[in-house]
Structure 1
Amino acid sequence: MSTEEISLDIDASLARSTARSQEIEAALAKDPSQFRILTGDRPTGHLHIGHYFGSLQNRVRLAQQGVETFVIIADYQVITDRDGVGPIRERVYSLLTDYLAIGLDPAEVTIFTHSQIPALNQLMLPFLSLVTDAELRRNPTVKSELDDTGDRPMSGLMLTYPVHQAADILFCRANLVPVGKDQLPHIEQARVIARRFDERYGRADESRPVFPAPEALLSKSGTVLGLDGTKMSKSKGNTIELRMTADETAKLLKRAVTDSDRHITYDPANRPEVSNLVNLAALCLDRDPVEVADEIGDGGGGGLKKLVTEAVNEYFAPIRALRAELEADPGHLAAVLADGNARANAIADQTLDEVRAAMQMQY
Structure 2
Amino acid sequence: MAIQRILSGMRPTGKLHLGHFTGALENWVEQQNLMREDGSRVYETCFLIADYHSLTTSLDTGDLYANSLDMLIDWLSAGVDPEKSPVFRQSRIKEHAELFLLFSMLVTASRLERNPTLKEQVRDLNLESLVYGHLGYPVLQAADILLYKGTVVPVGEDQIPHVEITREIARKFNNHYPHPLNGVVFMEPEPKITKFSRLVGLDGKSKMSKSLGNTILLSDGSEEVFKKVRNAVTDTEKIRKNDPGRPEVCTVFSYHGKFTPQMQRDIIEMDCRSGSLGCVDCKKICAANISHALLPLVEKRRYYEAHIDLVTEILYEGERKAQAIARNTMEEVREAMRLG
TM-superposed CA distance for 1:144, in Å, is 3.5
2:278 aligned counterpart, secondary structure = helix
Out of 271, 274, 284, the residue aligned to residue 306 of structure 1 is 284
1:34 and 2:3 aligned: yes
Identical aligned residues as a percent: 35
2:185 aligned counterpart, secondary structure = coil
List alignment gaps of at least 5 residues for structure 2: 35-40
Out of 230, 236, 242, the residue aligned to residue 254 of structure 1 is 230
Out of 4, 23, 26, the residue aligned to residue 54 of structure 1 is 23
Out of 166, 190, 207, the residue aligned to residue 142 of structure 2 is 166
Deviations 1:99-146 (A, max 9, x none): 110111111111000100011221012100110000111123432455
Deviations 1:13-71 (A, max 9, x none): xxxxxxxxxxxxxxxxxx6x531111010012421101111110111011111321000
Q: 8 Å contact 2:17–2:215 — kept in the other structure?
A: yes
1:284 and 2:259 aligned: yes
Give runs of aligned pairs for residues 329-340 of structure 1, distance below 5 A.
329-340=307-318
**Distance in structure 2 (CA, Å) of the matches to 1:164 and 1:286:** 41
1:116 and 2:92 aligned: yes
TM-score using structure 2 length: 0.89
Task: Select between 332-341 and 43-52 the one with higher mean Cα deviation.
Answer: 43-52
Deviations 1:163-203 (A, max 9, x none): 01111111000111222222211111111111111111122
Q: 8 Å contact 2:8–2:48 — kept in the other structure?
A: yes
Q: Which runs of 4+ in 1 moved over 3 A?
A: 144-153, 204-207, 262-266
Which amino acid is 1:165 matched to? Q
TM-superposed CA distance for 1:149, in Å, is 7.7
Out of 313, 316, 337, the residue aligned to residue 359 of structure 1 is 337
Which position in structure 1 is the counterpart of 2:162?
186
Which position in structure 2 is the counterpart of 1:263?
244
The change in CA–CA distance for 1:150 and 1:226 in structure 2 (over 3 A counts) is closer
TM-superposed CA distance for 1:151, in Å, is 8.4
Out of 220, 223, 240, the residue aligned to residue 195 of structure 2 is 220
TM-superposed CA distance for 1:205, in Å, is 4.2
Structure 1 vs Structure 2 CA RMSD = 2.0
Which position in structure 2 is the counterpart of 1:245?
221
The change in CA–CA distance for 1:306 and 1:70 in structure 2 (over 3 A counts) is same
Which position in structure 1 is the counterpart of 2:300?
322
**Distance in structure 1 (CA, Å) of the matches to 2:63 and 2:271:** 42
Question: Would you say how many aligned residue pairs link Structure 1 and Structure 2?
Answer: 324
Q: 8 Å contact 1:46–1:234 — kept in the other structure?
A: no
TM-superposed CA distance for 1:286, in Å, is 4.7
**Distance in structure 2 (CA, Å) of the matches to 1:214 and 1:149:** 29
Q: 8 Å contact 1:195–1:213 — kept in the other structure?
A: yes
**Distance in structure 1 (CA, Å) of the matches to 2:264 and 2:193:** 22
The change in CA–CA distance for 1:206 and 1:114 in structure 2 (over 3 A counts) is closer
